Structure formats: C-alpha cells, structure tokens
Amino acid sequence: MSRKILLLLCLFSSSGFAAPRMSHHGEFITKCHKPLFFNEMPVKESVVTSLQDFSVTASDNTDIKTIKFSVNNQPFAATLERLRSGRILIKGHLNESITTLGTTLLKVGSESNDGCNGLFAWRVYIK
C-alpha cells in the first residue's frame, strides 16, 4: 500500500515541476523566445507637457491574444494592428490628456507564440 502512495506522490511532484515549463499550447518549452517591444512613442524617459497618444511595436513572435496594456497600473484597452512584417503595432489614445506634473508609467506585457512571457515598461515625465 505504501508503495502505491509513494508512486502517486512521485507522479504528482514531477508534474508540479513540469507545469512551469509548459507553453500555453500544452507543449513542453524547449527554447524560449520572449516577445520584444520597441519603437515606443513617446520615447523612454522623455519629458512632455501632456500625454494623450502613445504607441509601441511588438515583435512578430508575440501572441496577439495575450497582449495587456496599462497606464499608471490601470488596465487600458489599446488598439492592436498586425503589420505586414508580422509585428504588432499597439496604439493608445486617452480620453483626456494627462497634464498632471509627475511620472506616467506605460506598461505592456504578452506571451510569445511558444508561451514565454515578456514585459516592457517605460516612464514618461510630465512637466
């Protein structure tokens, strides 16, 4: 009886170690290619008088269904456009401009097609 219990414990513990190495498609991850984000506008660490429009480009290995965007840690529904190159243009337009002096944090996260997580955040200073 104790042998069966030991076997079950080994089975469950091995699946616990394997779970983080699984992609969202259910396959084992052998190589991880994180999604990349670049060409952010306004550029990282820039100083602006107000902020209403912004954009960033995601690499072609990004799973478009998993893209999440936030402004000052508040979820934001950005516009997603697949470009001819396969990359994804992520654009946002706020209802009201941010004019309050201080820092605005823009953040985008996603998974790649092979299930690896990627995160990109940048600050814009309002003066």
- 55 and 93 fall within a common domain: yes
Residues 95 and 49 occupy one common structural domain: yes
pLDDT tens-digit profile, the chain (127 residues): 666 666 556 656 555 544 555 555 566 656 789 999 999 999 999 999 999 999 999 999 999 999 999 999 999 999 999 999 999 999 999 999 999 999 999 999 999 998 899 999 999 999 9
Q: How many domains is the chain partitioned into structurally?
A: 2
| Cα 98 to Cα 83: distance, rounded to the nearest angstrom | 28
Residues 92 and 117 in one domain: yes
Q: Is 58 exposed, middle or buried (0-12, 13-18, 19+ CB in 10 A)?
A: buried
User: Phi/psi zone of residue 124: left (φ > 0), alpha (ψ -120 to 50 degrees), beta?
Assistant: beta
